[in-house]
Amino acid sequence: MKGRGRTALLVLLVLLAACGGHVHHAAPLEATNDITLYRDIALVRQRVDVNVPATATMIRVKVAAGATDLIVVDRGGVELRSVHVIEPKVAEVVGEPGTPECPEDAVDCTPPEPEATPAPEAEADADTSPGAAPPVDVDLDVAAPHAGTYSLVLAYTTNRLQWDADYTMTTTSARDRAVLRGAIAVRNTTAIAFDRASIHVIDAGLAGWRSRTAEYMATTMVGGTPSTTPAATPRDLGIATLVDGETRVEISNISKPRAMNAVLVYDPIGTKLDNPAGAPVRDFNLGIAPAAPSRITESFEVQRDEQGTAGLPAGPVRLLERRADGGLGVLGESRLFDAATRVANVDTIAVGTAEGVTGHRERRELTIDDVRQRLTEEFVITLDNARDHDVGVLVREHLYRSQTWNVSYESTKRPSKEGAQQFSMRSTVPAKSQQKILYVVVYTWDK
C-alpha cells in the first residue's frame, strides 16, 4: 500500500465527514456496506465478518476487483497487526503459435512481423466498462480478546462500479404539470456483490469534488472566498443490493408534480465551447465563426423543486404525454441537471422548431485590456416574430471564454444565472415585429 494513497484516502474521509456528514454517515443498522459513486470512481466501505480464534491468526478476505488505497477504518474490537493486499496475478503474454523465431546461432535474424489484424470499428454506444477480473485478496493479521465473530470495515476506491442516470417526465393533455421519475443504473464488475449497501451519488469526479470540498472548508472555517456556483451535492439513494452486473436503483422523493408551461427558447451556442479555466480564451473567432444558427425551438419549461432535485445527477430525459386512452407519446428529449444548469430555476425541453420566429446573434465589440486584466464583449440578440400574436422568448447565452465573468449590462433587466458559464434572459416580441437584446460581458483574470 503506497503511503501517499493511504494519506489521500484518509484526508478524503475527513473532508467528507466535515462537509455534510450525511455523505458517509454511520449507515442504518440494516445496511452492511456503504458506497459513494463519483463520475470516475467509487468510494467503498465494505463490512467483512471474520471468525477469529483465541490465538493470533491470519485471515483472508475478499474485496472488489480494482480496489486501491485500502485502509481499515473500523477494527471491530480486534487487534490488527498488519494488512497485506495480494496483488492479482497477471496472465503471462506468450507469442502467437507458429511464429518463426531466430535460431540461437543466427548472426542477423529479424523475426517476421505478425500480420496486423484490423481493429473493428468502434460503435457509438460501445461499453467502456473494465473487463472481467477476480476480486482482490487481503490478508489480515489479527488477534482477538476471545474467540468469536467480529465485523471489520475496509475502505477503498475502485473503478469497477460505474453508473448512469436517466429520467422521464410525464404530463397530461393539459400540459400544465409534469411528474419526474428517475433511476441510477449501476454496473458492478467488481466480482463481488454488495449486500444491503447504503448508496450515495456525487455528480463530479473525485479529485474535483475533493478540491471543492476543501474550498468549502476554507470558506466556512477560515473565511475563504467561495465559488459563485456550488459544487455537486451528495444525493442519498437509500439501501440496495448491488449484484454482479447491472442494478437499477430508483430515485425516491422526486415525483411531486411541477408547474409546466410552453416557451420559445433561443440557445444558439450550447455548452460545447465552455472553458472552465480562470483565464479567458482570447480567440477572436470563438463563438462567432461559424455563425450561430437562427433556429428557435418550441419548448416546455418545468419549474424545479429545489429540495427535491438537490444533488440529482445529470442524465437524459424524455418528456411523455399521457393520452386520454392511457397510452404514452413522446413529446421531446433533453438532458437534466447538467453542471451548466446547476443553479437554474427551470428545466427546458425542446419539442420542435418555432415556425415564424427566428433569432440572430451578433458581436459588436471585443476589447482586450492587458493592463487592467479585462476582456470585454458586447452582443446584440435580434428576435424576429412573423406571427400574428406576441410571443415570449427565453434567450440562453453561454459565457464560454472562462468562468471569471460578469454581465455588466443587460437590456431586458431580467437576467437569471443558470450555471458557472450560463445565464438566460426573457423578452416579449410583439406580433409582426422585431426585438433586440443587448448585453455586455466582462472577463477578468489575475496576473
For residue range 40-71, what is the model confidence (pLDDT) as tens digits?
999 999 999 999 998 999 999 999 999 999 99
What is the domain count for the chain?
2
Model pLDDT, residue 326: 86
**How would residue 414 be classed by pLDDT, with cut points 50, 70 and 90?**
confident
Across residues 104-133, what is the average pLDDT? 53
Q: Are residues 199 and 295 in the same domain?
A: no
Q: Are residues 156 and 298 in the same domain?
A: no
Model pLDDT, residue 229: 57
Q: Are residues 69 and 17 in the same domain?
A: yes
Model pLDDT, residue 227: 52
**Residue of 348, 352, 328 lying closest to 338 (CA atoms):** 348
Q: Are residues 231 and 280 in the same domain?
A: no
Contact criterion met (CB below 8 Å) for 35 and 198:
yes
Model pLDDT, residue 211: 55
Q: Are residues 396 and 283 in the same domain?
A: yes
pLDDT reading at 17 higher than 60: no
Distance, CA of 11 to CA of 131 (rounded, Å) = 30
* Residue finishing a domain among 207, 237, 267: 237
**Residue of 420, 411, 398, 414 lying closest to 440 (CA atoms):** 411
Distance, CA of 242 to CA of 193 (rounded, Å) = 6
Q: Are residues 210 and 271 in the same domain?
A: no
Over the range 277-297, which residues count as b (16 or more CB within 10 Å of their CB) and which as e? Answer: eeebeeeeebbeeeebeeebb
Q: Are residues 79 and 219 in the same domain?
A: yes
Q: Are residues 439 and 358 in the same domain?
A: yes
Q: Tell me which of 28-32, 142-146, 413-417 is least confident.
A: 28-32
Contact criterion met (CB below 8 Å) for 35 and 161:
yes
178 domain-assigned: no
Model pLDDT, residue 82: 92
Q: Are residues 22 and 68 in the same domain?
A: yes
Residue 206's domain comprises: 3-86+133-161+192-237
What percent of the chain clears pLDDT 90, i.e. is strictly above it? 69
List CB contacts of 125: < 8 A, sequence separation 6 or more. none
List CB contacts of 435: < 8 A, sequence separation 6 or more. 382, 383, 385, 393, 427, 428, 429
Q: Which class for 445: exposed (0-12), middle (13-18), buried (19 or more C-beta within 10 A)?
A: middle
Contact criterion met (CB below 8 Å) for 199 and 239:
yes
Return the C-alpha cell found at 79.
Answer: 487487534
Neighbouring C-beta atoms of residue 268, cutoff 10 Å: 19
8 domain-assigned: yes
CATH value at residue 296: 2.60.40.290
Q: Are residues 349 and 390 in the same domain?
A: yes
Contact criterion met (CB below 8 Å) for 357 and 383:
yes
**Residue of 64, 271, 52, 58 lying closest to 148 (CA atoms):** 52
Q: What is the CA radius of gyration of the chain?
A: 28
> Kind of pairing, strands 315-322 and 161-171?
parallel
Distance, CA of 183 to CA of 170 (rounded, Å) = 15
Contact criterion met (CB below 8 Å) for 373 and 445:
yes
- DSSP, collapsed to helix, strand or coil, labels residue 319 as strand
pLDDT reading at 445 higher than 60: yes
Q: What is the dihedral of CA 195, 199, 205, 210, to 10 degrees?
A: -110
318 domain-assigned: no
pLDDT reading at 148 higher than 80: yes
Model pLDDT, residue 19: 40
CA neighbours closer than 13 Å in the CB half-sphere of residue 46: 27
175 domain-assigned: no
Return the C-alpha cell found at 11.
Answer: 484526508
**How would residue 406 be classed by pLDDT, with cut points 50, 70 and 90?**
very high
252 domain-assigned: no
**Residue of 338, 346, 380 lying closest to 363 (CA atoms):** 380
Q: In 223-345, where do the E strands start and end? A: 235-242, 245-250, 258-266, 295-303, 315-322, 328-336
Q: Which class for 269: exposed (0-12), middle (13-18), buried (19 or more C-beta within 10 A)?
A: middle
Model pLDDT, residue 209: 57
- The conformation of residue 411, written as its DSSP 8-state character, comes to T
**Residue of 213, 212, 188, 81 lying closest to 140 (CA atoms):** 81
Return the C-alpha cell found at 14.
Answer: 475527513
**How would residue 218 be classed by pLDDT, with cut points 50, 70 and 90?**
very low
**How would residue 121 be classed by pLDDT, with cut points 50, 70 and 90?**
very low
**Residue of 432, 439, 311 lying closest to 381 (CA atoms):** 439
Q: Are residues 266 and 155 in the same domain?
A: no
Across residues 209-213, what is the average pLDDT? 53
**How would residue 27 be classed by pLDDT, with cut points 50, 70 and 90?**
very low
Tens digits of residue pLDDT in 279-325: 999 999 999 999 999 999 999 999 998 888 889 999 999 999 998 88
**How would residue 90 be classed by pLDDT, with cut points 50, 70 and 90?**
low
Across residues 397-425, what is the average pLDDT? 94
pLDDT reading at 447 higher than 50: yes
Model pLDDT, residue 137: 94
β partners of residue 57 = 142
**Residue of 387, 396, 386, 388 lying closest to 427 (CA atoms):** 396
Q: Are residues 18 and 145 in the same domain?
A: yes
Residue identified by cell 466582462 is 442
**Residue of 314, 420, 442 lying closest to 367 (CA atoms):** 442
pLDDT reading at 5 higher than 80: no
**Residue of 42, 6, 110, 37 lying closest to 313 (CA atoms):** 37
Tens digits of residue pLDDT in 261-273: 999 999 999 999 9
What is the pLDDT of the chain when averaged over all its residues? 84
- DSSP, collapsed to helix, strand or coil, labels residue 354 as strand
> Kind of pairing, strands 258-266 and 391-398?
parallel
